[in-house]
Structure 1
Amino acid sequence: MRNLIKSAKAVLVAYFVGELVRSKGLAYGLLSLAVWLSMFIVPASLFIKGETESSLSAGVLIGSAIFLAYSTATWDWAVLLRWLMQLGILEYVIASGSSIFSHYLGTVPVSIAWYSMALAIAYTIVSVFLGPPKVVLVDPVAFVIGVVSLLIVLMAYSFMLGGTLLAAGTAGPIIEFIGWILPIATGGLTPLSIMPKPLQVVAYLTPFSYPAELLRYSLGISNPVLEPSLVVILGATYSTIFLGLSSIYLKHQVRRMLKEGVRSVALF
């Protein structure tokens, strides 16, 4: 445990210095994010009818927050393995006896900082173009469970995506489907209550829909299709199983890499 914390601390220092101090990526990244979010958020008011300005703003903000969370898990955690492979560091990390999970743990503080700034930008854009969002905490217990479930799902999702990158060495159609289409199509951007019935069934078969539904319900945005108590039970069960299976999958791919070697790495 002490070695894990020590390794995670070293990763945090290196990541912080490399990405936030010596690089201009912070300013460019936030600027491009602001432009991208503006292109995504502004047209939302054209397609959603029958809602008040404050509820529309709140719904768009929550959808943006969930999307940014999956984006952080993708690029800061899952693609971290691809970055280590490209630099030729991953083999040395494993050979040194350091746990690969220390790199996930070490990037979490920086990821939280990035996510907080991105969420602040999203809130500003929503307030300017759609009006100040009205977010009311109506169920604190459901909110806490939703946040915890989302964090577990994000970590499990990054393990699964990272293991797939190790297995394939590239980000092809399968990874794009897992990384973007599946989380968003299962209630990441819009409530399941306004989705077609077949898509609702598919969404509830995945662990991605439950945290989003709980967060929207706890903040008074929308009610879940299922009973809230059932959403809590199923969400906690699915997220725990998802984390266990994805951890096993990532460890399997690491062992496979040790036997077969590192595959060629490309983004697409």
Structure 2
Amino acid sequence: MSRTITPPQSEFKDQVGAIALPKSTPLSDFIQETLALTRRLFIQLQRRPSTLAAGIIQPLMWLVLFGALFQNAPQGLFGDSASYGQFLGAGIIVFTAFGGALNAGLPVMFDREFGFLNRLLVAPLASRFSIVMASAIFITTLSLIQTAAIVVMSAFLGSGLPNALGLALVGLIVLMLVLAVTALSLGLAFALPGHIELIAVIFVTNLPLLFASTALVPLSFMPKWLQVVATLNPLSYAIEPIRYVYLHSDWNLGSVVVQAPWGAVTMGTSLLILLGFNVVAFLAIQPLLKRTLA
């Protein structure tokens, strides 16, 4: 009679464990760490939902109040726009995304001051860049939510709605701008001594960049010196393509979106400028992040 031979229990557990628990890789560990840190930021947001509510309500108030303020302006005063609200929508989208990304360094700065960042730096992380990546994902998600709210409100107020490809382009432009500004804000969070200095930089930067762009008025309304400044402002190259997409359904990469003092700027040129802005921002903060996270 044949007899069944069972392996020892310890050997059986080892075999099952080898099958059920595959070895982790550096990439999977990095993704897991990034998701965990991102989840922490969303839990903080869930506990303070007024932050998100204020971030959505404020640009909507700008859109409604500024649109009503200039609703009696002569048609054609703001280019091809049927109303000032339609002209203003692109500026509100970009400036809201810019303001949110500029605040991206504040949570990291508070983690520095309360000691939580030091705990992360001494923890056995697969990559400390997961700290930076989590902040970028969090801010990008909030910016896209705010952008969607502004697009819906603009359509409700009669500014129209781009087609599906146009909406995708709006999302791409917002994403490129948010990533670049978030990188600079995180660099400031590691470079400045405290949150007071970071908040001061945010306040000093916000309004000058708003008024030195084409968010509120077209380039032709500005004096010559301010036109030159506005064409050096990356926000203008995010605003004008979005505005053109709203006003023209037959846009393409060769469409001229703005007449700068140094020549015509096409849709493709604007996207290349934003891409270059991203490259410069990431290269500028890379040595600082390596030194700080080492």
- State if a TM-score over 0.5 links the two structures: yes
Q: Is the 8 A contact 1:160 1:246 kept in 2?
A: yes
Distance 1:12 1:186, change over 3 A: same
Deviations 1:94-122 (A, max 9, x none): 443321332234415742564257537x8
Distance 1:228 1:9, change over 3 A: farther
Distance 1:37 1:240, change over 3 A: closer
RMSD: 3.7
Are positions 1:167 and 2:191 aligned together? yes
Tell me what 1:154 maps to. 178
Tell me what 1:14 maps to. 40
Larger relative CO (CA 8 A, sep 6+): 1 or 2?
A: 1
Are positions 1:134 and 2:160 aligned together? yes
Aligned length: 248
Please tell me the residue identity of whatever aligns with 2:265.
L
Are positions 1:199 and 2:229 aligned together? no
**Pick aligned residue for 1:91 from 118, 121, 126:** 118
Q: Distance in 1 between matches of 2:149 and 2:162?
A: 21
Distance 1:80 1:179, change over 3 A: farther
CA shift for structure 1 position 158: 1.6
5+ residue gaps, structure 1? 260-268
Q: Is the 8 A contact 2:63 2:89 kept in 1?
A: no
CA shift for structure 1 position 243: 1.6
Tell me what 1:123 maps to. 153
Q: Distance in 1 between matches of 2:142 and 2:215?
A: 19
Q: 1:52-71 counterparts in 2 under 5 A? A: 55-71=83-99
Q: Secondary structure at the match of 1:171?
A: helix
Q: Is the 8 A contact 2:144 2:171 kept in 1?
A: no
Tell me what 1:234 maps to. 269
Distance 1:40 1:171, change over 3 A: farther
Please tell me the residue identity of whatever aligns with 1:62.
A
Q: Is the 8 A contact 1:165 1:171 kept in 2?
A: yes
Q: Secondary structure at the match of 1:243?
A: helix
Q: Distance in 2 between matches of 1:71 and 1:247?
A: 18
TM-score, with structure 2 as normaliser: 0.67
Q: Which structure features the higher share of helix residues?
A: 1
Q: Distance in 2 between matches of 1:106 and 1:195?
A: 36
Distance 1:118 1:26, change over 3 A: farther
Q: Distance in 2 between matches of 1:117 and 1:70?
A: 15
Q: Distance in 2 between matches of 1:163 and 1:177?
A: 17
Are positions 1:30 and 2:56 aligned together? no
Q: Distance in 1 between matches of 2:169 and 2:57?
A: 30
Please tell me the residue identity of whatever aligns with 1:163.
G
